[in-house]
Amino acid sequence: MFRIRRIFDDVIPVNRDALVQVREILKRRFSQASETEIDHIGDKLRNPFTLRFRPILFVAENMRHKVMGFAMVLHEPEIDFCYLDWIATANASLRGGLGSALYERVRSECSALGVGGLFFECLPDTDITCDQDSPKENIARLRFYERYGARPLVGTAYETPVKEGDTCMPFLVYDGLGRDKPLGRDYARRVVRAILERKYKDVCPQEYVELVVTSIRDNPVKLRPFCHVKPEKAQNTVNPSFTEKIALVINERHEILHIHERGYVESPVRVRSILTHLEKSGLFESMATQDFPDTHILAVHDADFIAYLARACEEVSPGKSLYPYVFPIRNKTRPPRETTVLPGYYCIDTFTPINRNAFPTARNGVNAALTAAHALVDGRRIAYALVRPPGHHAEKRAFGGFCYMNNTAIAAQYLRGHGRVAILDIDYHHGNGQQDIFYNRSDILTVSIHGHPSFAYPYFTGFEDETGEGEGAGFNLNFPLEEKITPKEYRITLAKALRRVAQFEPDFLVIALGLDTARNDPTGTWSLTPADFKANGRMIGETGLPILVVQEGGYKTRSLGINARNFFQGMAEVIFRVTGRKTLYDLRHKGLTLRYEPLPEDRIQIEQLVEATGFFRPDEVKIAGELVGERLEQGAASGYYFVIALKAGKVIGYGCYGPIPCTLKSYDIYWIAVSPDLQGQGLGKILLLEMERLIAEAGGGGIYVETSMQPGYATTRSFYERFGYSCKAVLDNFYGPGDGKGIYCK
């Protein structure tokens, strides 16, 4: 048994381990590949800018994460083609189920991207200059690809040796992905130019590129006749079905919590209504709930609160419920002793009861949420915790709103151990629980779209001016909306929320999914339809992040299932089928170029850029310009190196780095500055990763960054932490009273 999954990055350990195994397969199967190319395969995923292709990596692995094979595809969205860079199995041959499964997954992805074709190289089956054992292997490979209708281009100079003495030059093979449209000459020329100028930029001189490109004269371009497979046997069609599934984890014991009081809408039928529709979709793969220790709960909830819940629920008689009715707002430091009064000490409303089955059901819901979170850590791209009771109203030391423990917050805290986390709450009611728990933290972003607290529960939180405190200032964002809104107005707000998520650059996105935003929900006033939920799912999926969805509210049982199904359908269509439609390296910066040597006119532009950020004193702005001047006067002897981002000839961002004097391999990143109107759009990431690449090529070891420890620099510190830098030391009062210097290292 094996599964094929896409590796998007090397953030989580399971992906890093998979990349190690991919490198081993490359070394074993492709002895001609350079050590640099093999070692930097992870860099290609993180920084596609260096390739000018968007890399797509698939691995086939068994249930123990042993990689059995892989395929690396390069997507060029502007010319609109894909290039199969590598495909290999751990064993010697592509033949058999594993090789076919990998190639079919590649074809499915390329077809979904809507490209004009899939191209790749294959050694010739006719060249006697190849290695003695190669012809048989080459024949087997070309026979394998012919089964899918893929054949070499003929009548071109693609197989021409680059230099005298080169032998065994490869064919360029074209797979039309099941379409009958012939390969056009102009399109083929653009494809070949991109391959030679980008992939082989260090091998092919420009005159060779022009020779090969201009040799493509036939229109349409001719393909070699079938040599190894009868044409009628070729399987040209592409399987459009999803090969990846959404991990589904259900709180299996939720039915034991069934409060029969009139008007109590949080009932077991909610889960059954959703599950009935999900089972028909073919999108999900069920996972058994695993047990997790209480330490994960106590990481977000106070111990005395959890102890009270466990004890109080156990003490209530079966079939009975105890509702809060007295609330100690005058003296919270002295909890009452009377058990019938105590619920109000820990509760925020009068309709969420203490019940014998409330604690065990909520506790099992936590296990389900953590199981789903772990599925992301284990390499899944989407996981859904279908749980009840909900949790997003549960605060650090309070329950309410049908919520006892905050599943969303607990799962987010768990994921924080593996990367940066953003929470987006799209329940009709404000996610006061996450806000309360993370309000003073900058490492977990909390965003909530909800009905305005002037009319919607919980009434006392969710206002726009609640933005976080201390270290968390600016990391809590509320979008309170009017009582009646249109679906278009909702999507406009969702787009704003997702822009803030993108600026945070998280590794994981946790969605607190409330289906009570739907038309005719008994607890809401909005009117979203199944089509709206699908559109919202697509928008969230476009983030390209690993996504954990935790079920929160939604009480119109007749529409719960169809709305949930449409939400996940929209998300899956983006993540599983067409991820990568965006331009290169998340190119919101089309027309961006990088330059590595400053020009005299750059000095004033860089000073103006640094000043415009608003972070630096006049003397610091002056130093930024002086470093440019030293590089202009002394060149490399200055010890300062630059990566300058330009658009339409204007400096829009830059980085400055250099070796640390009196060290052998240590480097310092002195500056990264981005134009204020482009901040949060990925340009800082491009600059940092490019400097890291250049430092690695220069043989650098540790990289050091120094920054202020003031609250205003929390976003700067979070930026470096996002890319694996850790704070090794803090020098108090270094920049001034109360302004310490943090020294970060990677």
Residue-range domain boundaries for the chain: 3-233, 246-291+366-577, 593-701
Question: Which residue(s) pair with 669 in the sheet?
Answer: 657, 705
Beta pairing, strands 547-551 & 382-386:
parallel
Q: Provide the residue count of the chain.
A: 746
Q: 129 pLDDT exceeds 90?
A: no
Over residues 289-340, the pLDDT tens digits come to 999 999 999 999 999 999 999 999 999 999 899 998 878 665 566 676 777 6
Catalytic residue selected from 254, 301, 392, 393: 393
492 backbone dihedrals φ, ψ, rounded to 5°? -60, -45
| Among 425, 421, 344, 441, CA closest to 391 | 425
Predicted pLDDT at 587: 39
Question: How many of the other CB atoms lie within 10 Å of CB of 697?
Answer: 10
Q: 584 pLDDT exceeds 50?
A: no
Measured between alpha carbons, how far is 229 from 148 in angstroms, rounded to an integer?
10
% pLDDT > 90, the chain: 68
Find the angle CA(404)-CA(407)-CA(412) to the nearest 5 degrees: 145
246-291+366-577 and 593-701 in the same fold: no
Three-state SS for 137?
A: helix
Over residues 635-665, the pLDDT tens digits come to 999 999 999 999 888 999 999 999 999 999 9
Over residues 379-420, the pLDDT tens digits come to 999 999 999 999 999 999 999 999 999 999 999 999 999 989
- The mean predicted confidence, pLDDT, of the chain is 90
Predicted pLDDT at 95: 57
For residues 481 and 489, the answer to whether their CB atoms sit within 8 Å is yes
| Measured torsion, CA atoms of residues 499, 501, 507, 508, in degrees rounded to the nearest 10 | -120
The residue with greater pLDDT, 38 or 497, is 497
For residues 394 and 405, the answer to whether their CB atoms sit within 8 Å is yes
Measured between alpha carbons, how far is 104 from 461 in angstroms, rounded to an integer?
51
Measured between alpha carbons, how far is 442 from 440 in angstroms, rounded to an integer?
7
Over residues 76-98, the pLDDT tens digits come to 888 999 999 999 998 766 555 89
Establish whether 393 is a catalytic residue.
yes
Over residues 693-726, the pLDDT tens digits come to 899 888 898 999 999 998 878 878 888 887 889 9
The tokens describing 162, both together, are 């680059």
Predicted pLDDT at 590: 55
104-113, 511-520, 666-675, 678-687: least confidently modelled range: 678-687
In terms of DSSP H, where are the helices of 378-471?
407-416, 432-438
Predicted pLDDT at 242: 57
Predicted pLDDT at 743: 95
Confidence band (pLDDT; 50, 70, 90) for 128?
A: low
Question: CATH number of 246-291+366-577: 3.90.1280.10, 2.40.30.10, 3.30.70.260, 3.40.800.20?
Answer: 3.40.800.20
Question: How many of the other CB atoms lie within 10 Å of CB of 50?
Answer: 18
Question: CATH number of 593-701: 3.40.630.30, 3.40.50.300, 3.40.1110.10, 3.10.20.30?
Answer: 3.40.630.30
DSSP for 82-113, written as a single string: EEEEEEEESSS-S-SHHHHHHHHHHHHHHHHH
Over residues 238-279, the pLDDT tens digits come to 876 656 899 999 998 899 999 988 788 999 999 999 999 999
| Among 22, 190, 52, CA closest to 119 | 190
Measured between alpha carbons, how far is 525 from 450 in angstroms, rounded to an integer?
11
The residue with greater pLDDT, 218 or 685, is 218
The tokens describing 357, both together, are 């089955």
Predicted pLDDT at 643: 95
The CATH code for residues 3-233 is 3.40.630.30
Confidence band (pLDDT; 50, 70, 90) for 581?
A: very low
Residues 6+ apart with CB under 8 A from 72: 41, 44, 55, 56, 57, 58, 84, 85, 86, 87
For residues 121 and 180, the answer to whether their CB atoms sit within 8 Å is no
Residue type, 299: A
